[in-house]
């Protein structure tokens, strides 16, 4: 009885200080997760930054030699790395444009009235839900040089994909990887943009069309203005995800043929675990992180400027 009263008294006193307990309360809630992320993300990241300034072998990682900027000078001087940068750039841009474009198209398609709309909206998300490994396996099989269904169809309509098949063709491998990536991503874009489209007030588009505006005009004047921030956000997510995509490319081509599908992440992994050069790998990783940071900071500046302009 008295203990309970004492407890209530403490709580009351605490309430007086702050409505939500003592001022340390939020930090106590924060501590476990923050410590965890610090241990498993922040420390390894710092270690990786350090590694990028050293010569370190995977087989003997405790004996690393400080070499300053040598790794960075070396990678930027190599023609192979310049190709990697260009491939990464092309891959990311094509992924973003392809996924956002097709996703927006599908969202507009699904936003109308038609029978079976609920089922269609659920089924369209299947590619995004399928595990990346399974996607890589089925894509590789469908693109098989002899028996793949896509290869068969292309040959049947007279497209020359070469003897060794699409994934071994330096002109086509990246296109195949891109198509697979976009297949995987477009449902996410479509679902996110569909929910944005549903917040477009119907009266506005109707009013625009009643004023004699055609569909395209009312899309540009009304719909696009409402969904623009969401499109920007999705494009940012696609950029970040595409910069770090690994398993799909690794399993389908390992960066080949002739390095035509070697993105930064593929390069970094094979430097670390095939060539065992941890310093080089870390430097490549840092380049990737800097690119991602530039994209994130740049896009937040652009969206802030757009907000101020509006």
Partner 1 sequence: MRRVRIGVVGRMIGVLVVLGIAVFPIYWMFTTALSSDADLFAAQPRLVPDFGQFGVFVDALADGPTLTWLRNSTIVAVGTTALSIVLGIPLAYALSRFSFRGKVAVGLLLLMTQMLPEALMVVPLFSLYRRFELLDSLVGLVLANTAFVLPIVALVLKGAIDGVPRELEEAARVDGSRPLTVLLRINVPIIAPAIAAAAVIAFFHAWNEYVFAVTFIFNKALQPASVGLAGFVGEQGTAIQTIMAVAFMFTLPAVAFYLFAQKYVVSGMTAGAVKG
CB closer to partner 1 out of 76 and 246: 246
The sign of the CA dihedral 122, 125, 127, 131 is negative
How near is the Cβ of 235 to partner 1 at its closest, in Å? 11
Among 42, 97, 207, 210, binds partner 1 (CB under 8 A): 42
Q: How far apart are CA 303 and CA 126, in angstroms?
A: 32
Decide: is 15 part of the binding site for partner 1 (CB under 8 A): yes
The interface with partner 1 within residues 145-204 (CB under 8 A) comprises: 147, 149, 152, 183, 187-188, 191-192, 195
Cα–Cα nearest to 72, from 307, 217, 288, 241: 288
CB closer to partner 1 out of 192 and 197: 192
Decide: is 293 part of the binding site for partner 1 (CB under 8 A): yes
Decide: is 128 part of the binding site for partner 1 (CB under 8 A): yes
Distances (CA, A) of 233 to 35, 97, 101, 110, 229: 29, 13, 14, 20, 6
Tokens representing 155 are: 């040959």
Decide: is 106 part of the binding site for partner 1 (CB under 8 A): yes
CB closer to partner 1 out of 98 and 285: 285
Q: What is the DSSP letter of 39?
A: I
- DSSP per residue, 155-217: HHTT----TT-GGG-TTTHHHHHHHHHHHHHHHHHHHHHHHHHTTS-HHHHHHHHHTT--HHH
How near is the Cβ of 172 to partner 1 at its closest, in Å? 18
CB closer to partner 1 out of 72 and 269: 269
Among 12, 79, 157, 202, binds partner 1 (CB under 8 A): 12
Distances (CA, A) of 122 to 110, 132, 190: 11, 19, 11
Decide: is 51 part of the binding site for partner 1 (CB under 8 A): yes
The interface with partner 1 within residues 223-282 (CB under 8 A) comprises: 230, 233-234, 236-237, 240, 243-244, 246-247, 251, 265, 268-269, 272-273, 278, 281-282
CB closer to partner 1 out of 132 and 259: 132
Cβ(13)–Cβ(246) under 8 Å?
no
Decide: is 109 part of the binding site for partner 1 (CB under 8 A): yes
């Amino acid at each position: 009885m008295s203990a309970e009263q004492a407890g209530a008294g403490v709580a009351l006193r605490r309430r007086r200080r702050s409505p939500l307990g003592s001022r340390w309360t939020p930090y106590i809630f924060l501590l476990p997760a923050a410590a965890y992320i610090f241990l498993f993300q922040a420390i390894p990241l710092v270690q990786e930054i350090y590694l990028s300034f050293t010569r370190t072998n995977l087989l003997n990682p405790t004996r690393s030699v400080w070499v300053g900027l040598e790794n960075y000078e070396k990678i930027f001087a190599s023609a192979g790395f310049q190709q990697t940068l260009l491939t990464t750039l092309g891959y990311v841009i094509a992924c973003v444009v392809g996924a956002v474009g097709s996703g927006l198209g599908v969202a507009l398609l699904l936003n109308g009235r038609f029978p079976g709309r609920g089922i269609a909206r659920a089924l369209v998300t299947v590619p995004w839900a399928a595990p990346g490994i399974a996607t890589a396996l089925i894509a590789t099989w469908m693109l098989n040089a002899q028996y793949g269904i896509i290869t068969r169809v292309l040959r049947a309509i007279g497209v020359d994909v070469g003897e060794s098949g699409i994934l071994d063709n330096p002109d086509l491998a990246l296109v195949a990887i891109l198509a697979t990536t976009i297949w995987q991503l477009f449902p996410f874009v479509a679902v996110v943009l569909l929910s944005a489209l549903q917040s477009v007030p119907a009266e506005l588009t109707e009013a625009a069309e009643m004023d004699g505006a055609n569909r395209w005009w009312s899309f540009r004047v009304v719909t696009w203005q409402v969904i623009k921030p969401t499109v920007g956000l999705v494009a940012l997510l696609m950029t970040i995800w595409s910069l770090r995509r690994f398993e799909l490319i690794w399993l389908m081509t390992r960066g080949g043929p002739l390095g035509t599908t070697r993105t930064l992440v593929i390069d970094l992994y094979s430097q670390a675990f095939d060539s065992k050069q941890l310093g080089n790998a870390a430097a490549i990783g840092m380049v990737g992180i800097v690119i991602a940071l530039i994209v994130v900071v740049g896009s937040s500046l652009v969206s802030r400027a757009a907000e101020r302009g509006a």
